[in-house]
Homo-oligomer: A and B are copies of this chain.
Amino acid sequence: MNRIKVFSPATVANVACGFDVIGLALDNPGDEIEMWLSSEPGIRIREIHGADLPLEPSKNVCGVALQALVKKLPDPLNAGFEMIIKKNIQPGSGIGSSAASAAGAVVAANILLGEPFPKKKLVRFAMEGERLASGSAHADNVAPAILGGFTLVRSYTPVDIVGLPTPPGLWVTVIHPQIEVKTSDAREILKHKVLMTDAIKQWGNVAALVAGLYRNDYGLIGRSLEDVIVEPVRSILIPAFQELKIKCKEAGALGGGISGSGPSVFMLSTSEEIARNVADVMNNIYQPLGLEYHIHVSTVNQEGVKVISR
Q: Are B204 and A207 in contact (CB under 8 A)?
A: no
Complexed CA–CA distance, A203 and B193 (Å)? 15
Known: A21-B207, A203-B207, A214-B214. 16 other contacts (CB 8 A): A17-B203, A18-B207, A152-B207, A153-B204, A154-B208, A154-B224, A155-B204, A162-B211, A164-B211, A192-B196, A193-B193, A193-B195, A199-B203, A199-B229, A206-B207, A207-B210
Complexed CA–CA distance, A43 and B196 (Å)? 38
Interface residues of A in 145-166 (CB under 8 A from B): 152-155, 160, 162, 164
Q: What are 10 A-B contacts with C-beta separation under 8 Å?
A: A21-B207, A152-B211, A153-B204, A154-B207, A154-B208, A191-B196, A199-B199, A199-B203, A206-B207, A214-B214
Q: Which residues of A contact B (CB under 8 A)?
A: 17-22, 152-155, 160, 162, 164, 190-196, 199-211, 214, 220, 223-224, 229
A144 to nearest B CB, angstroms?
Answer: 14
Q: Are B210 and A162 in contact (CB under 8 A)?
A: no
Which residues does chain B contribute within 8 Å of A208, judged by CB atoms?
152, 154-155, 160, 162
Complexed CA–CA distance, A241 and B211 (Å)? 31
Complexed CA–CA distance, A224 and B153 (Å)? 11
- State the 3 A-B residue pairs at the shortest beta-carbon distance, nearest first: A154-B208, A203-B203, A214-B214
Q: Are B21 and A223 in contact (CB under 8 A)?
A: no
Most buried by B among A152, A193, A207, A211: A207
Complexed CA–CA distance, A196 and B192 (Å)? 6
Give the residue name and chain of the B residue nearest to A154 (CB): B208
Q: Are B195 and A21 in contact (CB under 8 A)?
A: no
A210 to nearest B CB, angstroms?
Answer: 4
Most buried by B among A22, A196, A200: A200
Instruction: Using A191-B196, A194-B194, A196-B191 as known contacts, say yes or no to A18 and B203 having CB atoms under 8 A apart.
Output: yes
Which residues does chain B contribute within 8 Å of A153, judged by CB atoms?
204
A301 to nearest B CB, angstroms?
Answer: 19
Which residues does chain B contribute within 8 Å of A155, judged by CB atoms?
201, 204-205, 208, 223
Which residues does chain B contribute within 8 Å of A164, judged by CB atoms?
211
Which residues does chain B contribute within 8 Å of A191, judged by CB atoms?
196
Complexed CA–CA distance, A162 and B206 (Å)? 12
Which residues does chain B contribute within 8 Å of A192, judged by CB atoms?
195-196
Which residues does chain B contribute within 8 Å of A206, judged by CB atoms?
203, 206-207
Which residues does chain B contribute within 8 Å of A21, judged by CB atoms?
200, 203-204, 207
Most buried by B among A19, A153, A206: A206
Which residues does chain B contribute within 8 Å of A200, judged by CB atoms?
19-21
Give the residue name and chain of the B residue nearest to A191 (CB): B196
Which residues does chain B contribute within 8 Å of A201, judged by CB atoms?
155
Of B196, B199, B209, B229, which one neighbours A207 at CB under 8 angstroms? B209
